[in-house]
Structure 1
Amino acid sequence: MRSAHRLALGILAALTVAATARAEIVAGRDYLVLNPVQPTATEGKVEVIEFFWYGCPHCYELHPYLKQWLKHKPRDVEFRYVPAVARESWVPGAKLFYALEALGELDRLNDRVYDAIHLEQVDLNDERVLLDWVAKQGLDRQKFLDAYHSFAVQAKVAKARQMARDYRLRGVPTLVVDGKYLTSGTQAGSLQGAVAVMDELVKKAREERARNR
């Protein structure tokens, strides 16, 4: 059931992204210009960040569109997920993300986290429920717990919290290109439209980098 749902979302995303064509994008309408510009972590490449929260239904809806875009991501683009920490109730999701990353399990389990929350109604903010869930995914409970409460994960969560402030996030999901340009479903008119705007912003950032060499 879960795999069929994912497949349906993936097919819909592929068709929609392929069909989405936009006129010239306009600052203030389709995207915002960040001031001040934020530093990027990917030297020599255009950086794209998605700020998200696992519990956000719009993030879940955007996820297959982004995954489809990532299948054809340009080589000069570096993509990063950053769990937004806009309030304390979002902290467990950020810790989960970074714990899975630390254990090398993020690629395998990222989609399953979304499905558990939005399809199966599993409360992964409850640590006991979370530990049962990760065990069902084949992870060692203690190893996961050690990562979940580690100093390294706490530091990354703190950095994600600060980034939410620095980027002046108004909500999630939010897409940021090269530390300069911000778009979202609200800004672009739809979630798939946000991916199309992001793609145009990547081209814009690429051209700006070429001029500044």
Structure 2
Amino acid sequence: MKTLLRSAVLAAVSAGLLAAPAAAAPDAPHEGAHLARPGLPQPLRAAAPHEAVEFFWYDCSHSAALEEPLARWAARHTGEVVLHRVPAIWTGGPDERLQTAHARLFYTLERLGAVDRLQARVFRAVRTEKADLTTEDAAAEWAAEQGLDERDFRAAYRSSEVDRAVAAVPALFARYAVDELPTVVVDGTSRTAPSRAGGVAGMPAELDRLIARP
């Protein structure tokens, strides 16, 4: 994608938008549970008529199931919808360490412009192959196997830009009151998730309805 969430996160930090989150994030991800929250905040950035923000975790089975359908949905709406992704970090939750490491991997790949090519592969590595990509060495070795330059990967992995992006994630989850994975927020005013769409398979059709609203 030409428009990266990384830039939106940094812009939000600079503008102070993340200083006062709207609500506290839950302690741990819930797959298939939803708590309705009215009055979602405004979009991160308007770069197209519509913006979709996906909140996911590489070790979430529902997030993994949504990846390819969501990518196809976004491709069908090229020029109409900008898709951003936000990796999960629930501060204080039992999976915080794993989530933080996975978020660092995601933002490293984003910095290298490799998310679109490798996102599905990361899900497959974590969920199907049970690969541990939570350390720099393991992630760098895996990235090299995918055709990325290992030195470039390590430099991005350690960069201050990736540090800032990872640090901003918990406030983004609080800002959007995310309590279910995956969740996709459209235009900052509406959302869908497995519990709202009758399962992951129903989410693309629900997204079509959300962007068709006047």
Q: Does the alignment reach a TM-score above 0.5?
A: yes
Alignment of 1:161-172 (within 5 A): 161-172=170-181
| 2:180 counterpart of 1:176 | no
TM-score of the aligned structures, taking structure 2 as reference length: 0.75
Instruction: Determine the C-alpha separation between the residues in 2 that align with 1:150 and 1:43.
Output: 26
Instruction: Determine the C-alpha separation between the residues in 2 that align with 1:196 and 1:168.
Output: 23
| 2:87 counterpart of 1:83 | yes
Residues 157 and 93 (structure 1 numbering): CA distance in 2 closer, same or farther, change over 3 Å? same
**Identical residues among aligned pairs (%):** 35
Pair member with larger Rg: 1
- Equivalent residue letter for 1:83: P
Residues 197 and 31 (structure 1 numbering): CA distance in 2 closer, same or farther, change over 3 Å? farther
Q: Give, in angstroms, the shift of residue 45 of structure 1.
A: 1.9
Alignment root-mean-square deviation, CA: 2.1
Residues 181 and 167 (structure 1 numbering): CA distance in 2 closer, same or farther, change over 3 Å? same
Deviates more, 1:35-44 or 1:84-93: 35-44
- Equivalent residue letter for 1:42: A
Alignment of 1:120-199 (within 5 A): 120-199=129-208
TM-score of the aligned structures, taking structure 1 as reference length: 0.75
Instruction: Determine the C-alpha separation between the residues in 2 that align with 1:101 and 1:185.
Output: 26
1:44-93 Cα offsets, whole Å, 9 max, x none, are 52111111111111111111211221231153221111212223320111
Alignment of 1:90-129 (within 5 A): 90-129=99-138
Instruction: Determine the C-alpha separation between the residues in 1 that align with 2:131 and 2:202.
Output: 30
Residues 65 and 31 (structure 1 numbering): CA distance in 2 closer, same or farther, change over 3 Å? farther
- What is the number of residues matched between the two proteins? 176
Q: Which runs of 5+ in 2 are unaligned?
A: 1-33, 91-95
Q: Which runs of 4+ in 1 moved over 6 A?
A: none
Instruction: Determine the C-alpha separation between the residues in 1 that align with 2:115 and 2:158.
Output: 17
For the 8 Å contact 2:43–2:51, the answer to whether it is kept is no
